[in-house]
Homo-oligomer: A and B are copies of this chain.
Amino acid sequence: MPAPDRPPLSLTERRKAATQQEIALAAARLFAEHGAEATTAEDIARTSGVSLRTFYRYFRTKEDAVAPLLAEGSRRWVALLAATSPGTPPLTALLDSARAALAPAPGHPAESLAWTRGLLRAMPDDPALRDVWHRVHHDAETALHPVLARLAGLDAEGLDARLLTAAANTAMRVAVETWAAGDAPPADAADLAGAAFRRLAGPLLPPA
């Protein structure tokens, strides 16, 4: 499935998506610059040109405003992994999907990526941002679990499957954090993820 369904979005729906992106980028910019604590929801609303009430219609909390940006990578990762053809060895599938998910997005603005990296750099010193990051990480684990258990042929309820999911997700998290902390170009994130998977996967998965 190279292209998922693209039902022609109505004018209203496209404007809603644009507004959501607008709010997310404004929040990312303000959070990275002044910290999440020091930024009020009204700051974000005013900067993105909506009322406070409308802001809370798009996001449940002010921290949620940056969640889509932080979750974008793992969303693509899980989608690619789920689309892997059945026979693929799990480690190969992990490496390939991670590499593709971390590659610069074809149709997506580099602006998002820059602000996302800014968020990740501010994250270690910002408790509120840490919480969002770990919530995104947890959601990724939840989405990853059934996909990975099926690919590896493990019982989803067993300890091995839980460990495999948690370890793979943790490897991805550490790779992204390590990439964000350094000055390396975006492409290096994929290499870090590959190294992390190879290092951790040994006892959990057969060699590819």
Decide if B134 touches A162 in the complex (CB within 8 Å).
Answer: no
Asked whether any CB of chain B lies closer than 8 Å to the CB of A203, the reply is yes
Asked whether any CB of chain B lies closer than 8 Å to the CB of A192, the reply is yes
Which B residue sits closest to A202, measured CB to CB? B203
Decide if B159 touches A174 in the complex (CB within 8 Å).
Answer: yes
Please classify how large the interface on chain A is, using the bins under 10, 10 to 19, 20 to 34, 35 or more: 20 to 34
> A residues 165-208 with Cβ under 8 Å of B?
166-167, 170-171, 173-175, 177-178, 192, 195-196, 199-204
0/1 per residue, A48-59, Cβ < 8 Å to B? 000000000000
By a CB distance below 8 angstroms, the chain B residues around A167 are 167, 170, 200
What CA separation (Å) do A12 and B130 show in the bound complex?
35
Asked whether any CB of chain B lies closer than 8 Å to the CB of A135, the reply is yes
What CA separation (Å) do A178 and B158 show in the bound complex?
9
Decide if B174 touches A163 in the complex (CB within 8 Å).
Answer: yes
Asked whether any CB of chain B lies closer than 8 Å to the CB of A160, the reply is yes
By a CB distance below 8 angstroms, the chain B residues around A42 are none
Decide if A159 touches B192 in the complex (CB within 8 Å).
Answer: yes
What CA separation (Å) do A134 and B142 show in the bound complex?
14
Asked whether any CB of chain B lies closer than 8 Å to the CB of A150, the reply is no
Partner of A166, one of B135, B138, B173: B173
Decide if A196 touches B159 in the complex (CB within 8 Å).
Answer: yes
Which B residue sits closest to A177, measured CB to CB? B162
By a CB distance below 8 angstroms, the chain B residues around A131 are 131, 134-135
Given contacts A167-B200, A199-B204, A200-B200, contact A162 B135 (CB under 8 A): no
What are 22 A-to-B residue pairs whose CB atoms are below 8 Å? A130-B138, A131-B134, A134-B135, A159-B174, A159-B175, A159-B192, A159-B195, A159-B196, A159-B199, A162-B174, A162-B177, A163-B174, A163-B199, A166-B170, A167-B167, A167-B170, A167-B200, A170-B170, A199-B204, A200-B200, A202-B202, A203-B203
